[in-house]
A and B are shown apart, each in its own frame.
Chain A
Amino acid sequence: MTTLESRLRVEGIACRVEARDRLAILVPDAGQPVVLRGEIRQRVLAVAREEGFTHVTLDTRGGSAALPRD
């Protein structure tokens, strides 16, 4: 588990973090919808910056309301 992932889970954001260099990909836990808007989104960005990421992107798969893949 990355430090960013640990910190996000402390903030109540249930997702796995994949790191590709300075890009963080947030993959919501299965069945755990993640809605990152407004202040929560800004908070995630701030934490990610502190962890050395320049970009944070949210995967549309997984727990984000069980998105269909068709």
Chain B
Amino acid sequence: MAPNGFATPDHGIEEGSVEIAAPAREKERRLADWLGGRRSVVVGYSGGVDSTYLAVVAREVLGRDRVLAVLGRSVSVPSDQVRDAIALLAERDVPLTVVETGEVADPRYAANPVNRCYFCKTGLWSVLGPMAQSSGFEVVIDGTNADDLGEYRPGGAAGREHGVESPLAIVGLRKDEVRDLSRARGLRTWSQPASPCLASRIPYGTAVTATRLAEVERAEAGLRALGIDGNLRVRHHGDLARIELDARILDAWLDPDRMARMARVCQAAGFERVTVDLAGFRSGSLNILDGVVAA
């Protein structure tokens, strides 16, 4: 058994190989208690750091038959991300259902207001809630962590309106702690950069369309194929792509030859003009540009 009392996961990485701070271990124990107090859970799953960790821990605590992860698939989620997310839970024997979400067809979402995420999540939870109820699951949970509570996240309001609970936040687990605990479990997501949906690359007020999302997806996939790792965003400014690279590699990619390669990739993806942001990746970059602040 692992020190927290869970069955030791069969991931091929020695459990004790990662040092976990006592507060994080304590929070994980409280998470296990919280989950153990539920008859069954549906996990809103994205394949990201938080929801992966949550789904795996829920599977460990509750067993296979009392957990169902649900992944929303749409044109706003990169297809390789969906593929990886499906494979990851299969490796961990976590039951998974994929539902098609049609947020882009919702005019309130497609208009791309600052609370766009609210409409996306409303659509998602409107599907998951009845699904959970009809299948006899007690509660729907998501991977919102304690750090998320201090950020501008209109999607969180949709969750609260639909009775979605956020056990990571409830027990106070922060992002860095979730990463450490994921690493201890051998989850490859532990070091995964944040990967918000493709619509986050489109400035507020500019319509979210399948075409624009596809341009961003192709450009980012092409840039990854050039060997760019870490944080990467292609911000969509109409005719212009603004590439944000991880600060760690930015200077190296401001090389003229490499810039030419990036330009070709993004032009092939559909952008007329290609630029590289001189500050590099910034989480919520378009919020800064649009002057959006946390409510």
Contact = CB atoms under 8 A, between A and B. Distances in A.
Interface of A: 20-23, 25-26, 33, 35-38, 41, 44-45, 54-61, 64-65, 67-70
Given A41-B278, A59-B275, A54 B263 contact: no
B237 interface: yes
Contacts of A45: 278-279
* Contact size range, B: 20 to 34
A9 B260 CA distance: 24
Interface of B: 237, 240, 242, 250-251, 254-257, 259-260, 262-264, 267, 273-279, 285, 288-289
Contacts, number: 76
Contacts of A61: 263, 273-274
Given A45-B279, A55-B288, A56-B278, A65 B273 contact: no
B289 A64 contact: no
A38 B277 CA distance: 13
Contact of A57 (B242, B262, B288): B242
Contact of B278 (A20, A58, A68): A58
Contact of B254 (A35, A59, A67): A35
Contacts of B263: 60-61, 67-69
